[in-house]
A and B are shown apart, each in its own frame.
Chain A
């Protein structure tokens, strides 16, 4: 044998026979250090292994999809603040420049725009789902109310964001939208002047709206999201009526409560032994629900990404007030209100304020009007049919507005 292998065999081999001291890996030791100081292990267990209803779980993924889309808006928005300047002269220039020279920045802008459009759609679906499943009933009224606040904040973010590019579309959106509060009785003109920073839309309006859009509304939004999620955790995910004993009254064929799981926190969500207090079958949030959440969020973000790449964020000619040929076109999510502006005659003009406010009032009053225990949407015709009529009314206004705009050639 040559020297080196002899050293290896004679010197090292005996060491291999020594008993190995069982040390924890560095990762485990770091985790234990964190846990001792922050209760991390319990937090993770409580957060990840929460019980959620078993059946119909794909429908509950809309809430997390909304959250992911809001996250997308925040992340792309933060980077857009490093790209865009809120100036009536330079704002358009920055966006036009990146459109022509910087594909990645344009993609970020595209993600922000299409993320906003898809978010508005998904938040509407989420609201319809929670309405349908009766998840606004006791004890979850505050969840619903915080949700209404979130909806209004997201709508406000969408419309203030539309001002920022300062192209023709953005400018005229700013003119019309800032004009709507002027129809408030008594203080209307003051409200308009406050928002615009003057009589007409101009540089002060832009910079003010920019601040509202990037700081004021997002801070309110994040606070309300925190409240919404805390309440969700406290009151437990309701899910759908098919999970509960109350759904099987009609034919009496209720499935047996699964004997493998005891009633787990956060259920029962009501102190009494209400037939809607706890689902018959639950599963762990992680990984069952997170898998579905992840898949739906992936699908939604893929849609946003594809739209951002293929269609991208449009930019019209720079804002010009002195035009006799441009026809202002409203944002698609604003079409029902715009069609209301077309239909309402001038003597009844305050209707353009009262009708949306009344709609919001109906949303706010919903948990207090529909106080019955019943969660099955097909057993609640008193709220379902009027809601359907109001939804038809809004779709009618949207279709009428789209048809009218098409025939104007825009």
Chain B
């Protein structure tokens, strides 16, 4: 594929190769995972930080302001690092290694990228302004400072919304020439909801994990009180956001089933289904560990073990076990079907009917949300009894574990989403190296062949 230019120069026929196709995927995938770990918390903090500042102003408590200011300081330190990873990713790796695909994406999604660049610009300016004008715009001008924070929330949300438009289009493409159709593609809103709530949850758990780490290291009574409170505040918020995710995620999966069946099949019944099973387990832990924290934290202060929270903890543990049962005792459903073993276990097969998504895992997800909501309510109800600074060590390790697990879930989710579409760059349209897509319809679970719905 070498081209000869005037003057006899020859253009290289292919991108530089290192490790072949797999090398590209590891390089790009690894960089992407690092990027989303950093940018997720940047999005979360830029959207949650101003809220914390405003809450502190309404409640007239200085430690909220201190926490929000600390979130601002984190943003100042790490924002550039996250942005640099994105630049490395896009300008070097994606353009260099998958240039043809990236060119198509930029052509079709020009306007989302253009708007995103400007919102990113606003986000950077507002983040730095928000942090550095904290002192000068205190007191009488606090309202102005908080309004700036509000503008930061809007810029941050729009920036993520534009990126979500690109990401969702790659999975469920619509008519390219029509910007409204491009924006309103079927998985855009579900993805926006999913990612925004996830970033806010990540922000909460991130605060909790960091606060736990500082609590364990602090010697001063006042400092311990502050970090104790911050950990509790973060984990309550993180759990509150996480418990809405099952409803959001289920609708997202439904839209994927309808508009990108091959990807859906791979995630739910194909070679990514064990990873998805791990996700439902991690989700259970994400709600279980905070409930344990609530139980222990109340006990550390009051000496009494809350029966309600203990009961909820047991119920959540049982639900997690129930939700993690595998439907097929093999890697994929196809393997089970091919060997004719798609019968229940007790009939000699490899299928466990009580682990089916419909209705058992859905019932488990509903149970997750209801139990976690009750736990959050009960903990807040009993919060006045807590003395800040009296937390035990186990509580802090629970917070750190929650933060680490959140990061694990985010990394796994990225892995699942990108590999579900493989080998396509834009599902059903073009592959990663620019070749025409040759997506084959998969065999559905009822044994009938189901093609993807025709794209307009």
Contact = CB atoms under 8 A, between A and B. Distances in A.
Q: In the complex, are there CB atoms of A and B closer than 8 Å?
A: yes
Interface of A: 250-251, 339, 342-348, 351, 378-379, 381-382, 385-386, 388-389, 392-393, 396-397, 399-400, 402-404, 406-407
Given A345-B359, A345-B362, A389-B240, A400 B376 contact: no
19 contacts: A345-B358, A345-B362, A378-B59, A381-B383, A385-B236, A385-B377, A386-B373, A386-B376, A386-B377, A389-B243, A396-B247, A396-B248, A400-B189, A400-B248, A402-B189, A403-B184, A403-B188, A403-B190, A407-B255
A382 B58 CA distance: 17
A392 B185 CA distance: 22
A171 to B, nearest CB: 26
Interface string B187-214: 0111001000100000000000000000
A348 B362 contact: yes
A342 B252 CA distance: 12
Contact of A400 (B55, B193, B363): B193
Given A343-B251, A389-B373, A403-B186, A379 B59 contact: yes
A12 B322 CA distance: 107
A347 B356 CA distance: 12
A376 B349 CA distance: 60
Identify the 5 closest CB pairs spanning chains A and B, nearest first.
A347-B359, A403-B189, A382-B380, A382-B381, A345-B358
Residue of A344, A385, A388, A397 with most partner-chain B CB within 10 A: A385
Chain B binding site: helix, strand, loop or mixed by DSSP?
helix
B354 to A, nearest CB: 12
Contacts of B363: 348
B60 interface: yes
Contacts of A345: 358-359, 362
A342 B254 contact: yes
Interface of B: 55, 58-61, 184-186, 188-190, 193, 197, 236, 240, 243-244, 247-248, 250-251, 254-255, 259, 358-359, 362-363, 366, 373, 376-377, 380-381, 383
A399 B383 CA distance: 33
Nearest to B382: A382
Nearest to A355: B366
Given A385-B236, A386-B376, A400 B190 contact: yes
Most buried by B among A342, A379, A400, A406: A400
A404 B358 contact: no
Contacts of B381: 382
A388 B237 CA distance: 11
Contact of B55 (A344, A346, A378): A378
Given A343-B251, A351-B366, A389-B240, A382 B383 contact: yes
A45 to B, nearest CB: 39
Nearest to B251: A400
B292 to A, nearest CB: 19
B254 A251 contact: no
Contacts of B380: 381-382, 385-386
B244 A392 contact: yes
Contacts of A381: 380, 383
B247 A385 contact: no
Contacts of B61: 250
A389 B236 CA distance: 12
B191 to A, nearest CB: 10
Contacts of A393: 244, 247
A388 B366 CA distance: 18
A342 B243 CA distance: 20
B244 A396 contact: yes
A251 to B, nearest CB: 6
A382 B248 CA distance: 24
A249 to B, nearest CB: 10
Contacts of A404: 186, 255
Given A347-B358, A347-B359, A396-B193, 14 more contacts: A250-B59, A342-B251, A342-B254, A343-B247, A344-B362, A382-B377, A385-B240, A385-B377, A386-B380, A389-B240, A389-B376, A393-B247, A407-B184, A407-B255
Contact of B251 (A339, A351, A379): A339
A388 B190 CA distance: 20
Nearest to B380: A382
A406 to B, nearest CB: 5
Nearest to B363: A348
Contact of A399 (B58, B189, B236): B189
A339 B190 CA distance: 13
A343 B184 contact: no
B58 A378 contact: yes
Given A385-B240, A400-B193, A406 B184 contact: yes
A250 B383 CA distance: 18
Contact of B186 (A346, A399, A407): A407
Nearest to A406: B184
Contacts of B60: 250-251
Nearest to B193: A396
Contacts of B185: 407
Nearest to B381: A382
Nearest to A388: B240
Nearest to B56: A378
A403 B381 CA distance: 36
Nearest to A407: B186
A165 B254 CA distance: 33
Nearest to A403: B189
A406 B60 CA distance: 44
A114 B247 CA distance: 31
A327 B255 CA distance: 18
B233 to A, nearest CB: 10
A339 B251 CA distance: 9
Nearest to A249: B60
B309 to A, nearest CB: 14
A339 B247 CA distance: 11
A344 B251 CA distance: 10
A347 to B, nearest CB: 4
Nearest to A374: B384
Contacts of B373: 386, 389
Contacts of A348: 359, 362-363, 366
Contacts of A385: 236, 240, 376-377, 380
B377 A399 contact: no
Given A342-B254, A403-B190, A397 B247 contact: yes
A347 B251 CA distance: 17
Contacts of A251: 60
A332 to B, nearest CB: 16
A283 B362 CA distance: 55
A381 B382 CA distance: 11
A392 B243 CA distance: 11
A379 B255 CA distance: 40
Contacts of B240: 385, 388-389
A206 B188 CA distance: 40
Nearest to B378: A382
B418 to A, nearest CB: 23
A379 B250 CA distance: 34
Nearest to B185: A407
B417 to A, nearest CB: 18
